[in-house]
Structure formats: C-alpha cells, structure tokens
Structure 1
Amino acid sequence: MEQIPLYQHIVNALKAQIESGELQIGDQLPTEAQISKTYNVSRITSKRALTELENANLIYRVQGKGSFVNAMQPSLQPNNKSSKEILLVLPFNHNPGLGDYEKGINEYLKTTDYTLNIQSSTIVSQHKLLEAALQSANSGLIFYPVNSISDLGMLYQYHMSKYPIVTMDKYIEGIPLPSVVSDNFAGGYLACSHLIENNHKKIAFLSSLKVENSSSIRERYFGYLKALYDYNLIDHSVSDLTERYLIHDNDNGREYYTHFIQSVMEQGITGIVAENDLIAIEIMQIAKELGLSIPDDFSIVGFDNIHLSSFVEPKLTTISQDFEQMGYLAAQNLVEIIENPQNQPQENIVVPVELIERQTVKRL
C-alpha cells in the first residue's frame, strides 16, 4: 500500500474537524507553527496542508491574521452522493503486512467510474471520521473497524439513514451492516489442528485483545476450541492459562509476553496459536532472547501471512488471508448497494483462508 504523505494526514485531520462541526464556519485554524508542533512535522509540511485545504475551498487565509473555516463548502452538504468517490477508513497509516486491501478495491473500482479516497484513524479518532463521512459527499464507505464494539451509536445511524457502507475484516454485532471477512473460524481450526496432527497435546491460544471485543479474534478462538474438542484434547490447565492471557491490562507488552512464555514452559505446553503474525513474531523474538529455540522448545502458528512471516528465522507457519480478494469484494458489494439501493445486500461475505506451512511447527 502506498504510504500517505504527512501533509495529507494533517489535511484529513483538519477536514474531519471541519466536517464534524468541531471547527465551524469562521473559526480560526491552528497556525503553521502550532500544526508543526502538534503533528511533529516541519513548517513546510504544515504550510502544504493549509494550502491544500485552501485549494479545496474549505478555508480562507488572511495575511497577518491566519486561516479560517470558509462559509462556502459545497462538499459538506449531507447525503450528496454525486462525487463518485468511495471512502476507505483504516485503523493504520501504512502496514506492509496488510497492504493488499487497497489493491483489491482499486482493481474493482477501475471497472467503474468511482475513485478511492483513504483516511486513517491514527491521527483523527475513528468516531470523528465516521461522523464526518456521514455528512460528506462520498458515495459510500468501506470501513475497517478498530474493534467490533466501538462507535455503535454512530454506526447505527449509518444503518438507520441507509448510508452505503460495508465493513471489512470484522462485523458489527447487532447492526445488520454488510461485511466482508476472512473465514476466521476455519483459520483458528486449521492452526490448532495442524499442531494436533503434529502430535502436540497441550496447545494455548494467545491474543492481545479481549475476544469479545473483536469478531475476527473471537472466531479464531472458537475455531481453536473446536479443534481441541474434536480431538478430545481439552486440557483445563491450558484453558486456564489461555483465559488469563487472552487479554492483558499491562501496557508493557514485552513483560506480558515474557510471563506468558514462562508459563508455557512451566506447564509443558508445546504449541501456541497466536492471534496474528505480529504477536507470533514478537513471541519468537522474546523466546530467543530467553535462550529458547523454536520449534524445539515450543511450536507456534500465526495468522495473516504478512510479508515478514516468510523472512523471520525460523520462517513462520501461519494462516493466510486473501486481503486483495477481501478488498475487491468489499468494493463490489458497496458499489452494488450504491447503484441498487432497493436490493438487500448479502450481510456477510466470508473469504476462505489457507494454512501456510513453514518452519515453526515441530513434529513430536
């Protein structure tokens, strides 16, 4: 995924404040110096951001006095869907491991007359972006939620107003918004059963988030449990460990993962199913620093098949998601909703996953 320029992040942040009403007509914007300090950028970058806002007719500038929100903002008229622009809201700026969503979306959009605009909730909150998008001229929204429980009131407004929206990666319980997700349940099952088929009996599941807060992680956890049940391998000592380490309130993730590894070794656990590749790779690194060897001391399976998973040593066995296909289907579904609002969209589209066998699972 191409990285968004620094000035564009500032443009998106200030634009969201204007569109949400946080900055109202006539309000003065921060100065170039204040923007530079707030976003830790150069004056050249902050000046470029203000120039872009001025060119978009969102602000006007008075020499010696500053920049002010413009009264003439045709783009802020609610529900004006004539722009033919699709908005993609992501919870990360640039993640080389999850980079093919945009590729898949653009692959579909090039067959239409719609274009793609990307915004990140790393500078402006997810709530502010959702609030602004609901009143914007975008034709529709592809939304990658931070989790499955945030901003439910705002998302219910999308549902009630029939705003064209498709969620990606996670679904929102209780609100019938169409979504495109990976088959996370099958992925959790595949990861755990792969360990079982290599004669592992005591297998733990590790997540950095509460499973009830994320539909994708919850489904992976349930798939893991189903495999244990199917093979009659439910071990209560492992279950207790997994329950303790499904979440952590300690901001020091390194300390948390170190304790987890120590518990794994103490309890004779030989296999770990990790929530995602980044956690699996961090566990591998800490284990190495503790003098442990993977897969000799314990085996581990990740989830996502990010690029880094094939470059670490040993190479990570993982579950591959088809990010490009997810993006393609999300765009296809959204355009169908925009063009044919009378048709009821398919609520959940589930994209298959695949086990990628590499070097982090040892046969016992």
Structure 2
Amino acid sequence: MEQIPLYQHIVNALTAKIESGELQAGDQLPTEAEISKEYNVSRITSKRALNELENAKLIYRIQGKGSFVSDAKADHRPLSKTGKEILLILPFAHNPGLGDYEKGINEYLATTEYSLNIQSNTIVGQRKLLESALQSAHSGLILYPISSISDLGILYQYHLAKYPLVTMDKCIEGIPFLSVVSDNFGGGYQASKHLIENNHKKIAFISSLKVENSSSIRERYFGYLQALYDYNLIDYSVNDLTDQYLTHDNDNGREYYIQFIRSVMTQGITGIVAENDLIAIEIIQIAKELGLSVPDDFSVVGFDNIHLASFVEPKLTTISQDFEQMGYEAARSLISLIEHPLERPLENVVIPVRLMERQTVKKL
C-alpha cells in the first residue's frame, strides 16, 4: 500500500536532484508529459508535483517555455517552513521514567518563540510520522529513533532537503545528523569498573537488541569491553555467552531471560551489566521466581536510572542519564540549526553520566 502520495515521490526525487547539484540553477526540468511518462502517473499528478516545487520556491515556471531550477535553492526545503513549532517524535507513548526529555526541551524553548508538538510512533509507525513531518509546517524535528538503522531512506531525504533535524539517544548510521547522546561508552565502563572493584571477575553484558542495531547499546558494550581489557580480565570475560545474548532473535523475552540466568549460574558469572534498567529489573524479578537472590547469587548494574530503579527491592545500582539536559541540548541545537543553518556545529553533544550505588552489587 502506497504510504506517500504519488506526486510526493516525484517532488522528493526532483528535490534530491536539485539539492545534490545534479540539477543546477537555471536548468530546465522535464515537462508535465515527460514526468507522466517517466513515473507512470497522470498529467494531473505530474502537474501537482511541479506546483509543489514551485510553492517551495525550488523552481520557477515561464509560460510557454517550461519549469526551471531556482537560483536560491540552498535555502529551500520541499515545503516552506513558516511555523514556530518544532516536532518531537518518541518511540513510546507512556515513558517509564524518561519524561524529563520534554521538560528539558520546553525549558529551552521558553527562551525562544518556538513551541513543542509531541508525537509517538506506538500507534502510527516511525516511517509514517517521518513522511508526514517532512511535508508539515514544523520548523524542525527532534527524533528519538527506534534504532540506528531504521527508515534510512526517508531519513536520507531529510538530509538531502537540509531539513533541521537532531536525534536524541542514538546516532543514525551513515547520515550526518547532529545528535545529543549520553556518554554511553563511559557509562558501560563505569558499570563494569564498579563490579570489578567489588572483586567480580566473570562479568556478562546483556542486551534486548542486537548490538549493531543501536549506537547507544553498542557504545555501552564497548565501554564494558574496555573495562575488562584495562583490568586484565579479557581472559575471564564471557564472550561466548555475551555474544549469544547480543545477537539473539528470540522475541519471547521472559524465556530469553530465564535461559540467560541459568547460563549465568552454570558458568559461574557473578556480575551482569544490563543494557537498561527495565532489563535489569526483569532479571531481578525472574531470579526471585527461580529461587535466586540478587546480589547474593549474582550482582546487576542497570543503565538509565528510571524512577522505578530506586523503588524495586533490592534497589537497583545503575548508571544515571540526565534526560532533562539531553532534551535541553537537543532543543538548543535544533534552534541553532533553524536560525543559523550555515553555522552547523561539527560535533555531537555528549552528556555526562554517573554511577548510582544502591543494593544490587555485592562485594566478593
């Protein structure tokens, strides 16, 4: 089923040619008849596409002669953005403890003329929202992507269109969007170091996703490996187990965690670095059901410091992210892209993290 109107496919294709320089200022575009034939659409559809490009001031039309690429193409996007509203797309509707993103964004926007619109992709998928947002009147977009490798096609159209876009939490593979992320590498390192300093030598890393699908998880994993290396524990590391649980395709989460816990006990693993707090908490609960105790049977360190982390029993030792600061910096970076498009910063923003010591790590 077609998700983008036929005319929009033509608009996107011609815009890409203009933005890439394949079509230069003053070059003549194909006629309505030629577009109809090339894209196998009606004359009405091809005319609509040219009208959209003209409305966006990417082209101009001369009666009796045709359509030509505008001189000032560098400052244009597929549709003119005249609003003072930015869009935030999140991969969750109800966010268990991560709501401070919005607080930080609004704190910065309060110093500007911009307002915030929030949409979740839990009902309407991320791709559908991205396609719609590209043609909306929003001034820019803050995206919390579902992964680092999803919807690359439509996201590359944002890049070609020079649409102001900042990602939070993850970077997009192969597309140079500005990103605001936590120090995931440092967090993975701190979590592993804390276990090592409490005399743990066999430490596993567990993730709910393939490590290559998420830049944030990958950085946490690399931090874990760096700590093992720095403390001469590579020979003690559990790479076989860790690799197995970083590349799984098992959608049955509960059964997956049960098998992981059994492997931990069989292999004499005493410490676990979890991708996030929700996984850490689920492991703790399942361990209780299996008659095991955290931290007596094994220790766990989470990542995120969600509100629930300090209320579960035992209270979860975790790496705290500053979600509010991430939101603030994402908004600041996006407004800078909107207001000063030629002064784009060259580096991503990395927000520091810190270890929250609680009750799930035992000193051996």
TM-score interval for Structure 1 and Structure 2 normalised by the shorter chain: 0.7 to 0.9
CA distance in 2, matches of 1:194, 1:326: 25
Moved over 6 A (4+): none
Quote how far apart the aligned CAs of 1:19 are. 9.5
CA distance in 2, matches of 1:251, 1:215: 21
CA distance in 2, matches of 1:162, 1:259: 47
Are the structure 2 counterparts of residues 131 and 118 from structure 1 closer, same or farther at C-alpha, using a change threshold of 3 Å?
same
CA distance in 2, matches of 1:20, 1:310: 45
Q: Which residue type is aligned with residue 247 of structure 1?
A: T
- Residue 275 (structure 2) pairs with residue 275 (structure 1): yes
Which residue matches 2:49? none
Q: Which residue type is aligned with residue 221 of structure 1?
A: Y
- Calculate the TM-score normalised by the size of structure 2: 0.79
What is the count of residue pairs matched by the alignment?
Answer: 298
The structure number with the bigger radius of gyration is 2
Are the structure 2 counterparts of residues 211 and 337 from structure 1 closer, same or farther at C-alpha, using a change threshold of 3 Å?
same
Which residue matches 1:116? 116
Are the structure 2 counterparts of residues 311 and 338 from structure 1 closer, same or farther at C-alpha, using a change threshold of 3 Å?
same
CA contact (8 A) 1:82 1:137 kept: yes
- Residue 145 (structure 2) pairs with residue 145 (structure 1): yes
Which residue matches 1:263? 263
CA distance in 1, matches of 2:126, 2:85: 19
Structure 1: state its 5+ residue gaps: 1-16, 25-75
Q: Which residue type is aligned with residue 263 of structure 1?
A: S
CA contact (8 A) 2:204 2:237 kept: no
Are the structure 2 counterparts of residues 150 and 324 from structure 1 closer, same or farther at C-alpha, using a change threshold of 3 Å?
same
Structure 2: state its 5+ residue gaps: 9-54, 57-77
- Calculate the TM-score normalised by the size of structure 1: 0.79
Quote how far apart the aligned CAs of 1:139 are. 0.2
Query: Bigger shift: 184-193 or 125-134?
Result: 125-134
CA distance in 1, matches of 2:281, 2:187: 18
CA distance in 1, matches of 2:360, 2:224: 18
CA contact (8 A) 2:201 2:236 kept: no
Which residue matches 1:330? 330
Which residue matches 2:287? 287
CA distance in 2, matches of 1:253, 1:341: 44
CA contact (8 A) 1:80 1:138 kept: no
Cα distance per residue 1:299-334 (max 9 Å; x no partner): 000000000000000000000000000000000000
Q: Which residue type is aligned with residue 159 of structure 1?
A: H
Which residue matches 2:102? 102
Which residue matches 1:173? 173
CA distance in 2, matches of 1:298, 1:168: 33
- Residue 222 (structure 2) pairs with residue 215 (structure 1): no
Q: Which residue type is aligned with residue 228 of structure 1?
A: L
CA distance in 2, matches of 1:82, 1:114: 11
Quote how far apart the aligned CAs of 1:236 are. 6.1
Which residue matches 2:225? 225
Are the structure 2 counterparts of residues 21 and 236 from structure 1 closer, same or farther at C-alpha, using a change threshold of 3 Å?
farther
Are the structure 2 counterparts of residues 125 and 173 from structure 1 closer, same or farther at C-alpha, using a change threshold of 3 Å?
same
Q: Which residue type is aligned with residue 143 of structure 2?
A: F
Quote how far apart the aligned CAs of 1:250 are. 2.0
RMSD (Å), alpha carbons: 2.1
Which residue matches 2:23? none
